[in-house]
Every structure is written in C-alpha cells, then in structure tokens.
Amino acid sequence: VNLTEGEVFDAQGEGVWVSQAYANHQGAKLGDEITVDTGDGVKHKLPILGFYEFWLTQQEMVMGYAYYEKEFDQTSGPNALLFDSGGEDIAALETSLADTPGLLSIVSDKANQKVNFDMFADVSRTVVLVYLVLAVLMAIVVLLNLNVMFIEEKKRDLIVLMINGFSTRDAKRYIYNDTIALTIIGIVVGLVLGCIVGSVTVGSVEPAPAMFVKDVDPIAVVVGIVGSGVLALVMSMIALRRIPRFNLTDINKV
C-alpha cells in the first residue's frame, strides 16, 4: 500500500490507518473513531491516525503490533506480508523461497482480486442483461402504442392533407417530424437521467473497502443513442403502415 502524499506511517501510533476507499464510503476523517466488534460482546473504539492509498478489497485497516496487543489484549504475529513482485512469476518466486523458514505459500493478490471481480462482474452482467431485455421489450410495446395512438389522433388532419392533394409520403413526413423531435428530447432526457441513476446504482452495490468507476462511458452513450434512434424508427415505420389504409370518406367519422 502507498501512503497518501506527505504522510508517514507510525507503526507505534495509538490508533489505526484506513484505506482511502473505506474512508470515502464511510465519510471518515482524521481523528474519527472506528468501532470494532470482536464478537465476544466487547466493542473497541479505534481512532483514525491517517489514510493510505488502496482501492481494492481487503486490507482496509492496519495498525501496529503494540497497539493491537494493548487494545485487544492478545498477542499477534505476522501471518501475511504484502510485497511488490516486480512482475516476477509467482510460481517461480514460491519455488525459489521454498526453503525460507515460516513460509507457507505465496499468493498473487492481483489474481485473487481478479477472481473476485470476475465473479461480481458475471453476476452484474447477467442482471444488467435481464433488465436491458425487459427495457427493450417494454420500449417496443410503449413506442408502438404511442405511435399508433398519435396517428389515430392525427387521422383527421392526415385525411385532410391527402384530400388536398398531398401524397401518402407527405402525410408520413408530417408524422415523422414530430416523432424525430420527440425522440431527440427523449434521448437527451434519458442520457441525463441514465447517468445519474447509473452512478447511484453503482455506488449502492460497492463493498465498503472498494471503489468502482462511475465515469460516463462514451461507447455506452453512443450505443444508447443509436439503439434508441433505431428502435424509435422501426416502431414508427410499423405504425405508419396504417396511413395508406385510411379511407378518405372516413373524415366525417373522426
């Protein structure tokens, strides 16, 4: 882990250091206290001495040996050591250090984090896919119904246009103009609300010691715009098939 700029880790300090990810989630500040429940009915209040840069899961809190033994009234010993492998193969390192006293195994923290992330990503991807399919199906039904209702509402105006010599294509263009304007408005509003809801949703599923990226993905924005436009166009084309079937004698019936 890397300390934040200008800070020096004090292993003998009377308190704990927490990761920046944990601090951001909990709104922790220097001097605040963290309550640790050891499961035996005793709750320990540990003051925060500082923060360190670590954005992955695990290792969200560290403290010195002396303070741990004093606060929790039990001895401790090192059971893990974090180090930078410098790109060396983990299996090769484990083989070369096999004769080191007290060494049980070497585990790649990066690999563990990747496994955890992949598991979370697989579940999230499935959930997102289900919601996306449901959203598309709902959009198809809603857009098609709205387009049909809009054409029925404008039926009298469309018949008047055709009686006055306008072609079916002109009548369709009359509907297209309104559809395009409403689609553009819907895309703009949808992008704004989607970014807000997406950020809130990602933040709500974050584990306490980790941070997820909440930046807007340009590719997702482009795909959303193109998908919405294509869907609106297809639904409009289906609904517009009703116009050539209009009977001009029906003008007094609408």
C-alpha–C-alpha distance, residues 210 and 115, integer Å = 15
- Per-residue pLDDT of 75-128, as tens digits, reads 876 666 777 777 778 788 878 887 877 777 787 777 777 777 788 778 878 888
For residue 61, what pLDDT is reported? 80
C-alpha–C-alpha distance, residues 232 and 183, integer Å = 7
Residue 16: pLDDT above 70? yes
For residue 209, what pLDDT is reported? 57
Residues ≥6 apart with Cβ < 8 Å to 127 = none
For residue 125, what pLDDT is reported? 84
Q: How confident is the model at residue 24 (pLDDT cuts 50, 70, 90)?
A: confident
For residue 233, what pLDDT is reported? 85
- Token pair belonging to 228: 């919405």
Residue 22: pLDDT above 70? yes
For residue 251, what pLDDT is reported? 64
- Token pair belonging to 106: 């070497």
- Per-residue pLDDT of 144-163, as tens digits, reads 888 888 787 777 777 777 77
C-alpha–C-alpha distance, residues 201 and 83, integer Å = 34
Residue 15: pLDDT above 60? yes
- Per-residue pLDDT of 166-176, as tens digits, reads 777 777 777 87
For residue 4, what pLDDT is reported? 55
Q: Which residue has the higher pLDDT, 53 or 3?
A: 53
Cβ atoms within 10 Å, residue 158: 23
Residue 44: pLDDT above 70? yes
For residue 1, what pLDDT is reported? 43
- The CB-side HSE value for 114 (13 A sphere, CA atoms) comes to 5
- Per-residue pLDDT of 104-118, as tens digits, reads 778 777 777 777 778
Long-range contacts of 78-86 (CB under 8 A, 24+ apart): 82/1, 82/109
For residue 57, what pLDDT is reported? 60
C-alpha–C-alpha distance, residues 228 and 222, integer Å = 10
Q: Which residue has the higher pLDDT, 179 or 116?
A: 179
C-alpha–C-alpha distance, residues 183 and 189, integer Å = 10
Determine the straight-line distance between the first and last CA of the chain, rounded to whole angstroms: 74
Q: How confident is the model at residue 27 (pLDDT cuts 50, 70, 90)?
A: confident
Verdict on whether the full-model pTM lies above 0.75: no
For residue 254, what pLDDT is reported? 52
Q: For a pLDDT cut of 90, what percent of the chain falls above it?
A: 1
Residues ≥6 apart with Cβ < 8 Å to 211 = 21, 24, 25, 55
Roughly what angle, to the nearest 10 degrees, separates helices 109-153 and 155-163?
60
**Interstrand relation of 43-53 and 33-37 (parallel, antiparallel or unpaired):** antiparallel
